[in-house]
Structure 1
């Protein structure tokens, strides 16, 4: 059995990772997470597919903060590897990785109508892309005491709804990927791996997928990007050094409700 590498106590350094890389950083949860890290003093590297969109997103962050960007498709091993290495060089290393890149697939389509191409496409980004980001960041994370990885999962990895087949499958796989990597990387390198799993969050992706212009009048609670970002900050903090292998449900407690009609 390998010797477990003990993460540093929070007193040995500040509570927040100094150098953070975020995939899917062009909008939505990824951009919100980047903004939250900037606000606590971290330097941030953003990865997104579209370079122009990525630069516009970076420009919305605090102009005085250290924010660098690298365009890459998380499905492409060469692109994501080059992007991670470039950001690590510019940041001087990587203390935390947040894998936020994701798509929802053919929302509303019944199983008989979901195409193989679409199904694979969702898993390629949501699961394989998340794995590749970790794999390519690992050499850099290993050099950082107390490093961490945080995936953006979903309550859809634990409960299901019709018309979300590929998305449900991908987020379920991501929950188990979190556990598997947490065991291996913590024992070998002291790297923690967790996921934050929100319910519906008000993002452009969610609005488009559900076909709504606003969540103002929906009969269920909807969280903000800032809500999710705060949860990510919490598990990535060095003060959370004992939190590892956790899929943190952020869903107002809905998955804990009984279906008994009372």
Structure 2
């Protein structure tokens, strides 16, 4: 039996706010975001659907420097061309980077130093891996489990290891470290919830929480973001019956991420949302009304229930 939209989308996390979006809207319009000058963003996984949406959003917001990193340079060049057409004054750097490679992440940090004198305002880790959506641990390939953790967990760790020092050292920088997670991180059952992807994305989200615990008091903003359901490279492993539900624009996660990492983000926003698991689909005006509740109850974090 094919899944229903309700089965795919219904849980407490998805419905944390009642008003959900599929496209960018006025409150998160990147062209209205205030970014510092200079403002340098590094997008790891800077190609594909979400990568393109992220790059376009930062270009529209006026980022002065955009570093696009991924394994496929030709795909990155396509995104770089879009960025330059939107923001001709931006300096766009394309660099080959396997997210799970220690050497490549170290080289990425050296690229920031050489091309932008070490200036770095935001890092967005968008690289992701998913094997076939097989909800059976016996049937899932061990290689898919290993690859999921290499890209989805080791990748963000390496990005933090090499790039956090640059974020923290950038004077008056946005100091934002954002990982692109998945609604699957919050699930253990349901249609097409497969172990390798769900567990690795949950680990990514937990890693982001720990980064907040270690660096939040020093001014770092960090968050994990569900990017919505879009037609992307990862959708190639999805069963055909899932595709009609992939209706979210890649530009939505881009606009939401810029909204999170803009230089003039209100302190109340940064205080309430840092270290937490968020959805780009949530209406931010409604989300703002929940800041006190989020802080008082310490919501949107992974926890073990003991009573």
Fold conserved between structures, TM > 0.5: yes
SS of match in other structure, 1:16: coil
When residues 212 and 111 of structure 1 are mapped into structure 2, their CA distance, relative to the original with a 3 A threshold, is same
CA distance in 1 between counterparts of 2:282 and 2:274 reads 22
Q: Which runs of 5+ in 1 are unaligned?
A: 1-13, 254-262
The alpha-carbon deviation at position 83 of structure 1 amounts to 1.8
Match of 1:107?
Answer: 133
CA distance in 2 between counterparts of 1:71 and 1:221 reads 29
1:221–1:252 Cα contact (<8 Å) kept: no
CA distance in 2 between counterparts of 1:32 and 1:85 reads 25
Match of 2:262?
Answer: 237
SS of match in other structure, 1:205: helix
After TM superposition, the structure 1 = structure 2 runs for residues 31-180 of structure 1, keeping only pairs within 5 Å, are 31-42=52-63, 43-63=65-85, 64=88, 65-92=90-117, 93-108=119-134, 110-144=136-170, 145=172, 146-159=174-187, 160-161=189-190, 162=192, 164-180=194-210
Is 1:197 the counterpart of 2:226? The answer is: yes
CA distance in 2 between counterparts of 1:163 and 1:192 reads 29
CA distance in 2 between counterparts of 1:57 and 1:147 reads 24
The alpha-carbon deviation at position 167 of structure 1 amounts to 0.6
SS of match in other structure, 2:47: coil
CA distance in 2 between counterparts of 1:84 and 1:212 reads 40
Q: Which runs of 5+ in 2 are unaligned?
A: 1-32, 284-307
When residues 245 and 252 of structure 1 are mapped into structure 2, their CA distance, relative to the original with a 3 A threshold, is closer
Is 1:16 the counterpart of 2:46? The answer is: no
SS of match in other structure, 1:142: helix
Aligned-residue Cα RMSD (Å) equals 2.3
After TM superposition, the structure 1 = structure 2 runs for residues 247-258 of structure 1, keeping only pairs within 5 Å, are 247-250=277-280
CA distance in 2 between counterparts of 1:214 and 1:59 reads 31
The alpha-carbon deviation at position 252 of structure 1 amounts to 6.4
Number of aligned positions between the proteins: 235
